[in-house]
Structure 1
Amino acid sequence: MPDIFSGLDYGVAISLVLALGFVLTYEFINGFHDTANAVATVIYTKAMPPHLAVVASGICNFFGVLLSGLGVAYAIVHLLPVELLLNVGSKQGLIMVFALLAAAIIWNLGTWYLGLPASSSHTLIGSILGVGIANAWMTSIPLLEGINTQKAIDIMLSLLISPTVGFLVAGGLLLLLKKFRAESRMHNTPDERKALDGKKHPPFWTRVALIVSAMGISFAHGSNDGQKGIGLLMLVLIGIVPGKFVVDMASSTYQIERTHDAALHLQQFYSRNSYRLSNYIDQSAQDPLPPQFKCDSRQTMPASNELVTKLAGIHNYEQLSEDERIRVRRLLLCLDDTAKKVSKLPSITSAEKADLDRLRKDLSATTEYAPQWVIIAIALALGLGTMIGWKRIVLTVGEKIGNKGMTYSQGMAAQITAASAIGIASLTGMPVSTTHVLSSAVAGTMVANRSGLQSQTVKNILLAWALTLPVSMALSGGLFIAASHWIK
């Protein structure tokens, strides 16, 4: 871990310690809040002893964070509009980070205490949306401009669709198991198995499948939810010590040259297509941009000119001053935002969109990153949190969703479905709720097994699902407004 505290005054250092503590606490709570979703079925079916299951789950969560990419991390970050991301290093930016983290921690702890399988993903996303909308209200801009509306829609669709898929796929998988393995003991509950032959564990291969799929969920949970913590921690570091983290100081000469060349190629693309983009990009704009400019697509040409000039001949970011690095990040964010909007214009062909997407990836190569120590810190917080707090929710998932206890085959179908769905979401860079995917998969198996659903538990889960987004938005937005008025 680099010496991130060197050169900081006392107040900034205290803010940094508090902010890092908030992020790691959130991720720790995320670990024990969501643990039961990974280990509930494997514990309930007695495939593994509880303490061994949660330790193994914690280890798999750790490696899930360590070995995943950053697609989900920056999908979460980019829920905030580019204008708010540009000002993360300001006082308002710091208040924003503290408000959204405090709101997420409060709601996660409350639902965990009540034993409700509420979603940490919904909580975090709601908290981010809340501060974005509150900031828009305070600055007298349209409320929907306070968030990245399209990104929010994409993420909400992912969060809505994934439980439905979990319900249907898990139910279908159970029906297949019952059709092709109708006589297997995998269709017994633990109590039925014990009454039939006195054994307390599931059949051998069923037990193996339960354990492997549970660890698969744990790994997938780490790869998805862990990235959210990484994104939050990077927001904190960029906000409090921007000179060290606004760009990747470890970037190679090749990476910086790719960034430089991407800006140049974008500029050339806009010039070649000026007739199509004349209402969007002002080719005649040449005046230098002011120090605190806003992202305006009509100012794309002077922005790209400045970036190309600043990065020409630069071999590492140490050659730039702290203020120049902050300026470079601001230019990069704005150019990426313009390229994203241009790629969605109806006149842009699919081939051109693919080219723009590749150039955007090169453009953001040195800003969408995370140091290795950040990834390890989040992995440890999530992994250690996973090792505690499982008891409150295991019973809910195992016995209180259906009218009958869970059979081995139900647990296996639910876990295989959840692990696959979450893993695919992580690979595609979309955040999903481990809680809702697994709970809906269990419900799907209960319906397929004609076990029925316990209406009160389902109502509680649905209530938590319905309340999480608005409550976390209200909490974070309220905290943001109150703190902004209090800290002048």
Structure 2
Amino acid sequence: MISMLGSLEPWLLISLLVALLFVLAFEFINGFHDTANAVATVIYTRAMPPSVAVFSSGVFNFLGVLLGGVGVAYAIVHLLPVELLIDVDSGRGLAMVFSLLTAAIAWNLGTWFLGIPASSSHTLIGSILGVGMANALITDIELSQGVNWQKAIDIAISLVLSPLAGFLVAGLILVVLKWWKPRSTMHKTPEKRMEDVGKKHPPFWSRMVLVLSALGVSFVHGSNDGQKGIGLIMLVLIGIVPSYFVLDLSSSKYEIDRTRDAAVYLSDFYQRNNATLSTYLALGKANGSELPAKFRCDPHQTEITIAALQRGLVGVTSYTTLAPRTRVDIRRYILCLDDTARKVSRLAYLPAEEKRDLARLRKDLTASTEYAPFWVVIAVALALGIGTMIGWKRVVKTVGEKIGKQGMTYSQGMSAQVTAAMAIGMANVFSLPVSTTHVLSSGVAGTMVANRSGLQSKTISSILIAWVLTLPVSMALAAGLYWMAHRVFIA
């Protein structure tokens, strides 16, 4: 790392450091912007003192990032079309990164200042989509190719369904708790408990569930939202200094062999399914044996791309021995083969068993491109964890007091938090980004409805307006900034 920094030109080094600071600033803001979703219920129900709750949340956010993997990180990265990801250069990388980060930070700070539980996930995804669409317009690419729309649709479904699931499941859990123990003190508000028995803390078991579920929400929030920061840093590194980060330079010979073997097996897979894939991939019909000078991802060039990847990896035991230009080419081949394999896996006429085999091959193929250096994980974990310990009061008040017309009971807090932890945890399993803000806020709203407490229309309207506006506003901001940055850095 030190030698890499020393080899960069001063302007490029400064640009890289500023870009990394922007990403860490986004994660820091994400920490205090979304902290309320993990600590609002335990603070409001007095299960934990605010200082202890926020500190504990910060620690578990840190652990979530550290142990969460990179599945969600690359779900975010692959929102951009593969053509933009393979066409890496410093100018384009700077324009892309600064545009989407500036847009995301601006909207996050604005909604935090107003105390509105807006979604950092929506903000980031909207910014990435805006950059992709602006790039398509600037470079005369069809808008249908400007963004990985299939990935965008998958993520959109996740972002829409998760709050609805939070609302329904949290409400259902509360109904079950009320049916199971209708007279339990867990159905009291903190004020009512203080009035009846003079105790400000919840009953023991309610308090345990509240505390543990809050820590669980913090952990899964760290592993989900923290990975978004990891994905952003990898975009920065690959976009600004591609020769050092397009491939995992620490890959062992076994891991390199794994990638090369995946290419061999991928070729065998396509030949085995020649009857169904021959036309789509133009198997045996590619013109010439070399890739065109202007490389692009084309399913009809699949066989030639596989051959080029195999040639590029012959006798390679370490990626560090490859020339920088060759590393970029190897990554291009891998990304294009993976993109084609993803499209093939969605063909309706491909048998389910073959689709499962293809998914395994894709995992082996991308082992050395979908990674994150340990220092990146630590940096994001620290930024998110420290941010979590600051600036939490504004949104805590909204979530704890302003969603329902009556105060939140202990059972409502438990229902909302357990639901949020489960929903975000499941999203992590399937490498899908979700909004911690919306899942927990909708869970609280669901318990208010189930408890017949009613909802405060003003707060719900503000949350819904932010939910509706976040995506288009962040898209427009990022697209406008990218257009201006493109003229400065590239045009």
CA distance in structure 2 between the partners assigned to 1:173 and 1:433 by the alignment? 21
Distance 1:95 1:486 in 2: 8
Q: Is the 8 A contact 1:163 1:437 kept in 2?
A: yes
Q: Take 1:3 and 1:69, find their aligned partners in 2: how far apart are those partners?
A: 27
Aligned to 1:289: 291
Give the secondary structure class of the aligned counterpart of 1:121: helix
Give the whole-Å Cα distance in 1 for the aligned partners of 2:162 and 2:210: 21
Match status 1:111 vs 2:111? yes
Give the Cα separation in 2 of the matches to 1:59 and 1:4: 31
Which residue of structure 1 aligns with residue 11 of structure 2? Answer: 11
Aligned to 2:225: 225
Q: Deviations over 1:66-109 (max 9, x none)?
A: 01111111111111110011123342232011100110000000
Please point out which of 378, 387, 397 is paired with 2:380: 378
Give the secondary structure class of the aligned counterpart of 1:74.
helix
Give the C-alpha shift of residue 141 in structure 1.
Answer: 2.2
- Corresponding residue of 2:204: 204
State the TM-score, normalized to the length of structure 2.
Answer: 0.97
Tell me which amino acid in the other structure corresponds to 2:443.
Answer: A
Distance in 2 between the 1:158 and 1:234 partners?
23
Superposed counterparts of 1:260-339, under 5 Å: 260-282=260-282, 283-285=284-286, 286-339=288-341
Contact 1:84 1:93 in 2 (8 A): no
Q: Indicate the residue corresponding to 2:256 in structure 1.
A: 256
How far residue 486 of structure 1 moved from its aligned partner, in angstroms, is: 3.1
- Code of the residue aligned with 2:383 in structure 1: it is A
Corresponding pairs, count:
488
**How many angstroms apart in 1 are the aligned matches of 2:278 and 2:171?**
53
* Distance (whole Å) between structure 1 residues aligned to residue 308 and residue 87 of structure 2: 20
CA–CA distance in structure 2, aligned partners of residues 462 and 87 of structure 1: 38
SS in 2 for 1:6: helix
Q: Which residue of 1 aligns with 2:459?
A: 457
Q: Is the deviation greater in 81-90 or in 29-38? A: 81-90
Question: Offset of 1:310 from its aligned partner?
Answer: 1.2
Q: TM-score, with normalisation over the residues of structure 1? A: 0.98
Does the CA contact (< 8 Å) of 2:30 and 2:387 recur in 1? yes
Q: By how many angstroms is 1:271 displaced?
A: 3.0
Partner amino acid, structure 2, of 1:268: D
Give me the identity figure in percent: 64
Alignment of 1:39-50 (within 5 A): 39-50=39-50
Contact 1:99/1:476, CA 8 A, preserved across alignment: yes
Which whole-Å CA distance do the structure 1 matches of 2:77 and 2:150 have between them? 13
Match of 1:392 in 2: 394
Aligned residue number for residue 440 of structure 1? 442
Deviations 1:150-205 (A, max 9, x none): 10000000000000110011001111111111111111111111111111111111
How far apart, CA to CA, are the structure 1 residues paired with 2:93 and 2:296? 16
Secondary structure at the counterpart of residue 325 of structure 1: helix
Query: CA offset at residue 138 of structure 1?
Result: 1.2
Alignment of 1:100-179 (within 5 A): 100-179=100-179
| 1:144 shift after superposition | 2.5
2:256 maps to a residue whose letter is I
Partners of 2:296 and 2:101 in 1: CA distance? 27
2-structure distance, mates of 1:80, 1:443: 34
Matched-pair contact (CA < 8 Å) for 2:91–2:240 = no
CA contact (8 A) 1:87 1:93 kept: no
In 1, Cα distance between the equivalents of 2:349 and 2:428? 31
Structure 2 match to 1:59: 59
RMSD: 1.2
Query: Match for residue 409 of structure 1?
Result: 411
Map of 1:468 onto structure 2: 470
- SS of the residue corresponding to residue 232 of structure 1 reads helix
- Per the alignment, residue 484 of structure 2 pairs with 482
In 2, Cα distance between the equivalents of 1:315 and 1:117? 50
Q: What's the counterpart of residue 355 of structure 1?
A: 357
User: Partners of 1:274 and 1:197 in 2: how far apart?
Assistant: 75
Matched with 1:95 is 95
Q: CA deviation at 1:467?
A: 0.4
* 1:32 maps to 2:21: no
| CA-to-aligned-CA distance 1:120-155 (integer Å, 9 cap, x gap) | 000000000011111111122221211001100000
**1:257 CA displacement:** 0.4
Q: How far apart in 1 are the matches of 2:275 and 2:199?
A: 76
Q: Which amino acid in the other structure matches residue 424 of structure 2?
A: I
Deviations 1:371-428 (A, max 9, x none): 1111011000000000011100111111100000111110111001101111111111
Counterparts of 2:90 and 2:138 in 1: how far apart (Å)?
A: 15
Q: 1:193 to 1:88 in 2, by over 3 A?
A: farther
Q: Which residue of 2 aligns with 1:344?
A: 346
When residues 304 and 448 of structure 1 are mapped into structure 2, their CA distance, relative to the original with a 3 A threshold, is same
> What secondary structure sits across from 2:419 in the alignment?
helix
Provide the rounded CA distance (Å) in 1 between the counterparts of 2:281 and 2:155. 29
Aligned residues of 1:88 and 1:235 also touching (Cα < 8 A): no
Partner SS state of residue 83, structure 2: helix
> Which residue identity is paired with 1:401?
I
Q: Secondary structure at the match of 2:441?
A: helix
Equivalent-residue separation in structure 1 for 2:413 and 2:82 (angstroms): 43
Alignment-mate amino acid for residue 230 of structure 1 = I
Aligned-residue offset at 1:244 = 1.1
**One-letter identity of the residue aligned with 1:419:** A
Q: Hey, what's the Cα distance between the residues in 1 that align with 2:271 and 2:363?
A: 20
8 Å CA contact 2:90, 2:241 repeated in 1: no
* Kept in 1: contact 2:55–2:389 (CA 8 A): yes
What letter corresponds to residue 428 of structure 2 in structure 1? S
Task: Please tell me whether the aligned partners of residues 47 and 202 of structure 2 are also in contact (alpha carbons under 8 angstroms).
Answer: yes
> What secondary structure does 1:116 align onto?
coil
- 1:2 shift after superposition: 5.3
CA distance, structure 1, for counterparts of residue 3 and residue 418 of structure 2: 43
Structure 2 contact 134–479 (Cα < 8 Å) conserved: yes
